[in-house]
Amino acid sequence: MGTFITCAVTGGADTVSRHPRIPVTPREIADAAISAAKAGAAIVHLHARDPKTGQQSRDPELFAEIVSLIRDSDTDVIVNVSCGMAGDLVLTETPEKQLAGPGTDLLGPIERLQHLDRLCRDPKLKPEICTLDCGSMNFGDGDLVYLAPGTYLRPMAKHIRSLGIKPELEVFELGHLAFVKKMFAEGLLEGAPLIQFCLGIPGGAPAEPFVLDAFKQLAPAEATWSAFAIGRDELRFVPLAVGQGGNVRVGLEDNLYLDKGVFADNDTLVERAVGLIRGMGGSVLSASETRQKLGLEKPRG
């Protein structure tokens, strides 16, 4: 049926100091998304950044500006908005005095979706997809923990469903995939699942072929899945995922280099992924074909 490509154009990590062309402003992020779409990405995965600091932002108006610029362009692309913010707990070295240290960014489950509510007030801005990170995990071996317990995920899944947005279920560990199945069994999720296998993140499942196979074996049989790995493994995992019957994600959120010592751009990473897929004899799906595959409706307005 072909492979769709998602481009994660900027992310929220502190990569601005490590790459000369990380998209920061709404205009830069939208332009990067449009360029990625023209290069072959059917889906763009969006974070917002503070234009002054370059750091990740939860500001709903920044998301609205980014999506508006994309939708006003002549480029047809599926919008996938991140909902992975406001779960960061940075532990202090003296927890007996205070558990949460500087850098902590925590909100309740529905508060984490404020930007979705803002986007859905305007039919033109409503995203077709949003992410739902399906479990807590350590990020690295330091003091950062991402918190997404079941008591948060259940109301988040319900709220996303009430907005009529398809969740992309992000799984970083096999236990996260088990909770995906539990949410379906409880009726919190409906329809054919869209699952993203996230590999190689420090603290999560390693970027190894046998891990990809394990994720695939444990995913619901009716699921459509995509996979990505970070850093130097990003492009290596494109043919691995396609060979297993999956879809792929590339972009500057996950990897800064096209080749050793050569900085990438979002469109060049998408172009490389397109070449790898076609080199295997596969085909790359357009946004329209991907909507049909995922059962999505094109936005109105």
Q: Tens-of-pLDDT digits for all 301 residues of the chain?
A: 799 999 999 999 999 999 999 999 999 999 999 999 999 999 999 999 999 999 999 999 999 999 999 999 989 999 999 999 999 999 988 777 778 999 999 999 999 999 999 999 999 999 999 999 999 999 999 999 999 999 999 999 999 999 999 999 999 999 999 999 999 999 999 999 999 999 999 999 999 999 999 999 999 999 999 999 999 999 999 999 999 999 999 999 999 999 999 999 999 999 999 999 999 999 999 999 999 999 999 887 6
- What total number of domains does the chain contain? 1
- Among the listed residues 186, 202, 189, 219, the one whose alpha carbon sits nearest the alpha carbon of residue 142: 202
φ, ψ of residue 277 in degrees (nearest 5): -65, -45
At residue 157, the pLDDT reads 98
Residue 93 is assigned to a structural domain of this protein = yes
> What type of residue is 145?
V
Rounded Cα gap, residues 149 and 154, in angstroms: 9
The pair of three-digit structure tokens given for residue 92, joined into one six-digit string? 């202090």
Rounded Cα gap, residues 245 and 224, in angstroms: 9
φ, ψ of residue 216 in degrees (nearest 5): -60, -45
Residue 301 is assigned to a structural domain of this protein = no
Secondary structure (3-state) at 172: coil
Cα atoms in the 13 Å half-sphere on the side-chain side of 3 = 31
Handedness of CA 244, 248, 250, 255 (dihedral sign): negative
Rounded Cα gap, residues 194 and 78, in angstroms: 14
**19: domain CATH number?**
3.20.20.70
Q: Which domain holds residue 255?
A: 5-294
Query: What b/e string do you get for 248-259 counting C-beta neighbours within 10 Å, with b at 16 or more?
Result: bbbbbbbbbbbe
Enumerate residues 6+ apart whose C-beta is below 8 A from 247: 3, 4, 5, 6, 224, 225, 226, 227, 241
At residue 1, the pLDDT reads 76
Pairing status of strand 257-259 against strand 262-263? antiparallel
Residue 77 near residue 70 (C-beta atoms within 8 A): yes
The pair of three-digit structure tokens given for residue 234, joined into one six-digit string? 């990003």
The pair of three-digit structure tokens given for residue 108, joined into one six-digit string? 């309740």
Residue 299 is assigned to a structural domain of this protein = no
Enumerate residues 6+ apart whose C-beta is below 8 A from 155: 109, 110
φ, ψ of residue 30 in degrees (nearest 5): -65, -45
At residue 301, the pLDDT reads 67
Q: What is the DSSP string of 132-156?
A: EE-S-EE-TTSSEEE---HHHHHHH
Rounded to two decimals, the pTM is 0.97
At residue 133, the pLDDT reads 98
Residue 300 is assigned to a structural domain of this protein = no
Rounded Cα gap, residues 174 and 196, in angstroms: 12
Count of C-beta atoms within a 10 Å radius of residue 43: 29
Rounded CA Rg of the chain: 18
Pairing status of strand 247-250 against strand 5-8? parallel
**DSSP summary character for residue 262:** E
Pairing status of strand 137-138 against strand 144-146? antiparallel
